[in-house]
Amino acid sequence: MREEANIRHNTMFSYVALVAIVALLSLSGCNRRMVTQVAPNQGYPSQNTAMQPGADDGQWPMSAKTFDNMRFSGLNEINNSNVANLKVAWTFSTGVDRGQEAAPIIVGDTMYVVTPYPNQLYALDLKNNGATKWRYDPAPDSASQGVACCDVVNRGAVYANGKVFINTLDGNTCAVDAATGRELWKTKLGDINKGETITMAPLAVKDKVYVGNSGGEFGVRGWIAALNQDDGHTVWKAFNTGPDADGLIGPKFHPF
Contact 200, 214 (CB under 8 A): yes
Residue type, 243: P
CB atoms within 10 A of CB 218: 12
H/E element, 105: strand 105-107
Distance separating alpha carbons of residues 148 and 118, to the nearest angstrom = 13
β-sheet bridge partners, residue 173: 167, 187
Whole-model pTM: value is: 0.81
Residue type, 33: R
Indicate if the pLDDT at residue 251 is higher than 70: yes
Beta-carbon contacts of residue 126 (< 8 Å; ≥ 6 apart): 20, 106, 109, 110, 111
pLDDT number for residue 42: 34
Instruction: List the domain boundaries for the chain.
Output: 98-256
pLDDT in tens, 12-45: 333 344 544 443 333 333 333 333 333 333 333 3
Distance separating alpha carbons of residues 31 and 6, to the nearest angstrom = 43
pLDDT number for residue 54: 56
- Confidence bin at 256 (pLDDT 50/70/90): confident
Counting DSSP H helices and E strands in the chain, the numbers are 1, 16
pLDDT in tens, 82-130: 999 999 999 999 999 999 999 999 999 999 999 999 999 999 999 999 9
pLDDT number for residue 29: 34
Summarize the confidence of residues 230-245 as an average pLDDT: 97
- Confidence bin at 55 (pLDDT 50/70/90): confident
Distance separating alpha carbons of residues 207 and 104, to the nearest angstrom = 22
pLDDT number for residue 8: 37
- CATH 2.40.128.630 holds for 98-256: yes
pLDDT number for residue 197: 97
